[in-house]
């Protein structure tokens, strides 16, 4: 009996070691979590997006009855696809909420056509862009489907940037060509290609207006 007990003890110990080594070597399930579309702010929300390069236009109601529409979000994923490779990834619905809330803060109607300059980027596309553009972060939120570069018709980009910073919802940057970057990362603000007029901002905002390596 003692011999049998020791035998099974060794078996269980060996099995435990195998499972531990398997986990350490990456055998554990590392599948990224599927985005949750079941929890959304109350109310219906609509977005209209336009991609100049491909001349695509998308108009969808993506949020209603406290959840996000899987069908609408799939269409948003596609129009946000990588401009270089065509790769499609899941886009953070909170990013779309930031864009529509920014539009609403500007008192623009729901059917306002928002120009999408850049959405999702694959790691390869982002690395290529970063190799020629010093303003592209190597660990960009674009890679994570959590960032967008946008313009709104007839709206000054600097004004969009200022309103977006007051929302305190993530990263915000203004670019000299008039477009604005928004993302769902930590709250932070930065400028590209020009010094910031810090004097007109509060001390709280002033401390957060730092160069970012995560845009």
C-beta of residue 114 within 8 angstroms of C-beta of residue 152: yes
Low-confidence winner among 26-40, 96-110, 117-131 (lowest mean pLDDT): 26-40
pLDDT tens-digit series, residues 130-185: 898 877 888 899 999 999 999 999 999 999 999 999 999 999 999 988 999 999 99
pLDDT tens-digit series, residues 92-102: 999 999 999 99
Confirm or reject CATH 3.30.1380.10 for domain 45-208, answering yes or no: yes
| C-alpha–C-alpha distance, residues 148 and 95, integer Å | 8
| C-alpha–C-alpha distance, residues 38 and 212, integer Å | 32
Domain ranges of the chain: 45-208
| C-alpha–C-alpha distance, residues 161 and 213, integer Å | 18
> In whole angstroms, how far apart are CA 212 and each of 70, 94, 178?
32, 20, 19
C-alpha R_g of the chain: 23
Half-sphere exposure of 48 (CA within 13 A, CB side): 12
């Amino acid at each position: 009996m003692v011999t049998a007990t020791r035998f099974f003890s060794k078996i269980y110990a060996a099995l435990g070691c195998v499972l531990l080594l398997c986990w350490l070597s990456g055998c554990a399930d590392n599948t990224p979590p599927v985005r949750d579309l079941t929890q959304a702010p109350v109310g219906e929300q609509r977005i209209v997006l336009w991609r100049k390069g491909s001349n695509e236009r998308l108009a969808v109601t993506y949020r209603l009855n406290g959840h996000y529409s899987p069908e609408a979000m799939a269409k948003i994923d596609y129009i946000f696809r990588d401009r270089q490779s065509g790769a499609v990834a899941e886009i953070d619905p909170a990013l779309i909420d930031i864009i529509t809330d920014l539009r609403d803060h500007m008192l623009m109607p729901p059917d306002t056509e928002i120009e999408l300059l850049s959405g999702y980027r694959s790691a390869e596309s982002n690395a290529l862009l970063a190799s020629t553009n010093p303003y592209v972060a190597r660990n960009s939120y674009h890679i994570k489907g959590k960032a967008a570069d946008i313009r709104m018709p007839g709206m000054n980009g600097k004004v969009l940037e200022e309103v977006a910073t007051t929302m305190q919802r993530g990263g915000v940057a203004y670019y000299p060509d008039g477009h604005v970057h928004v993302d769902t990362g930590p709250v932070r603000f930065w400028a590209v290609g020009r010094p910031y007029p810090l004097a007109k901002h509060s001390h709280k905002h002033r401390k957060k207006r730092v160069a970012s390596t995560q845009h």
